[in-house]
Amino acid sequence: MAFSATISSPVCFYNNPNLSTSSTTTTITFNKTRSRILPLKAVPVATDVSLDGTTLAVIGGGSIAALSAVLSLTDPEKRRQLQAEEVGGGDKEVVREYFNGNGFDRWKKIYGETDDVNKVQLDIRIGHSKTVENVMKLLTEDKSLEGVTVCDAGCGTGLLSIPLAKQGAIVSASDISAAMVAEAQQKAKEELVEGSVVQPKFEVKDLESLDGLYNTVVCLDVLIHYPQNKADAMIAHLASLAEERLILSFAPKTFYYDILKRIGELFPGPSKATRAYLHAEADIERALQKVGWKIKNRGLVTTQFYFSRMIEAVPA
C-alpha cells in the first residue's frame, strides 16, 4: 500500500534515533553516526491519483492546514464498516478477500515485470524493490545466509523469499492470500534450480497463525493492515518467533502523511476494499521494548508514491 506525496527518494539507514536526513542523501549506509532524513518538500497542487481503487488527492502544502478541519467532519470509518460487512468480517477478512480478488490482479502487476503498469504502479514497484534490496543488504552484510532460517511473514509473490533462497537461506514464507502464495510458488519453480538450493516452503497463513522459531523474521509492508493496538500484539508475536533479529517495514505516521491519507479517504474509488493504518515510529519502538527488543538499524525508502520506514530489531 502506498500514498501519494511529492517527496525525494533517498534510501538510508542509521542507528541513532535522534538523527535526521537531507535531500542530498542518495546512498545506502549502515550503522553510521550521522545520516539525514529527508524533509517533506512542498506538495504541489495536483489532481487526484487513482491507485488500486483508492483515490489519493494530492494538494498544495499550504492547503493542508485548511483542509484538516474539513477532514474532521468526514466519517471514513462508517464506509470501512460497510466494506467489512460485505465480506462478513473485520480487517483480516477484508484483506483476504481483496488480495484473493481484484487486489491480487493489481499487485501481481506491480510486483511483476510487465510493462502494463501506469506511472503510479511503476513508482510503487521501484519503491518496494528498494525495500527488498535493503533487506538483502542487511542480511548479507555481515555473514552468509547459507543454512540460516528465515520467516518471510506476508511474502506476497515471493519477491524476498526467492532471493533469500538463492543465497542459501532456509525460507518459510506465508501470506494470507492463497492467490499470492500460488503465484510465489510458481515464480520459485521458474527461478530456482531444483536441487541447487532449498526451495522456500510457502503456506497460506495469516500472521496470527505463524509458529516455529527462526534465526530471522521479516515482515514487509504488512502492518499497514493493522491498527496500532493489533500491531502491538502482532509485533510481540513476530518477535517471539525470532532468535536473532526482526525486520519490519511500515508506512510511517507523520502529520503530512496522515493528512494526505485522510484526504484520500474523502474520495474512495469504487473498488476500495482495505483499510490503511499508518504507524508512528515511537509506537513501534515501544511495542518492541515491551517484549525485550531494541532497534539496531533504521531506514527510510521514499519515492513519489511509496514511502516505507524499515527497522531492524535485536534482543535487548
Domain segments of the chain as ranges: 102-315
Per-residue pLDDT at 104:
94
Per-residue pLDDT at 101:
92
Per-residue pLDDT at 255:
67
Contacts of 18 (CB under 8 A, 6+ apart): none
pTM: 0.74
Nearest-10 Cα torsion for 168, 169, 170, 171: -130
Per-residue pLDDT at 145:
97
Which residues, given as ranges, of the chain have pLDDT below 50?
A: 1-62, 64-76, 83-85, 87-88, 270-273
**Residues 18, 24, 28, 32: is their CA dihedral positive or negative?**
negative
Question: DSSP letter at 211?
Answer: -
Grid cell, residue 171, equals 525460507
Question: What CA–CA distance (Å, rounded) separates 1 from 228?
Answer: 17
Question: What CA–CA distance (Å, rounded) separates 81 from 66?
Answer: 28
In this structure, are residues 138 and 67 in contact, taking their beta carbons and an 8 Å threshold?
no
DSSP H helices, the chain, are 64-71, 76-86, 91-99, 102-111, 119-140, 161-166, 178-191, 228-241, 255-265, 281-290
Per-residue pLDDT at 313:
98
Question: What CA–CA distance (Å, rounded) separates 44 from 260?
Answer: 13
Grid cell, residue 162, equals 526467492
Q: At CA 108, angle to CA 206 and CA 147, rounded to 5?
A: 60
CATH number belonging to the domain at 102-315, selected among 3.40.640.10, 3.40.50.150, 2.10.109.10, 3.30.365.10? 3.40.50.150
Per-residue pLDDT at 265:
57
Question: What CA–CA distance (Å, rounded) separates 258 from 76?
Answer: 14
pLDDT in tens, 210-221: 999 999 999 999
- Given the DSSP bridges, would you call strands 293-302 and 11-14 parallel, antiparallel or unpaired? antiparallel
Cα 105 to Cα 52, 95, 265: the distances in Å are 10, 14, 22
Q: Which residue has the cell 515510529?
A: 281
Per-residue pLDDT at 25:
32
Per-residue pLDDT at 300:
94
